[in-house]
Structure 1
Amino acid sequence: MNATKQLLAQRQPMIKFLGKRTVPSKIDHTPHVHPASPTHSLPESFASYRQKAQQHGPLNQQSQYSTGGLIGGHSGASLGPVEAGKGLYFDRAELPQRFQRLAWTQAEIEAVESGGASLHA
């Protein structure tokens, strides 16, 4: 136990900081466009962004709270179509045949069930 105390007393951190820690006097919090943005511009307002946004259907429809309805009062189909863009797929089964899941062979099933021991027996 004493040896541990002696070792810890001699310990020095491997990282060394140069200079005194300082906090910046002025930080710019204004919104900036992300460098990888396709439009290289910020939306004018959240409302204009919401008109174009789509998540599980169009978001620009009338709010269910303002009309007195309840959440879930409408079917998902009434929200509008949700379709994958060109080259995008929602399910692996929609991919071309070469990218779909392969069926397991009986030998592979036995190898998994035996933990691989059936391969060496």
Structure 2
Amino acid sequence: MNASKQLLSQQRQPLIRFLGKRTIPSKIDHTPQAHPAAPTHQLPESFAAYRQKAQQHGPLNQQHHFSSGGIGGQSGASLGPVEAGKGNYFDRSELPKRFQRLAWTQAEIEAVESGGASLFA
């Protein structure tokens, strides 16, 4: 009881000390600037000029239409066979026998369906 009185009587002192009063700058420059890590350190001339050079999953400056052979214009079969590389598998059934899923026994099925109670009854 005496220990709690002593702890409560002490004033809490924050561990962070702030230096001076918070001030808001009077003039802030909002003009566009290149990112400090940008490779050219300059802004593009226009968005259209940027888009001509930009790449995202392929060139952005090509005009694709759905019916003219662009996205979805070709069937998946026409793109050629898709095969997993050596040591890679698409499905667990393609793995060697020791890594394939084991068949459930009737006892396991009953244990799951009963919530495990059938194991002790």
The interval holding the TM-score normalised by the smaller chain is 0.3 to 0.5
TM-score, length-scaled by structure 1: 0.47
If you compute each CA radius of gyration, which structure gives the higher value, 1 or 2? 2
TM-score, length-scaled by structure 2: 0.47
Greater relative contact order (CA < 8 Å, ≥ 6 in sequence):
1
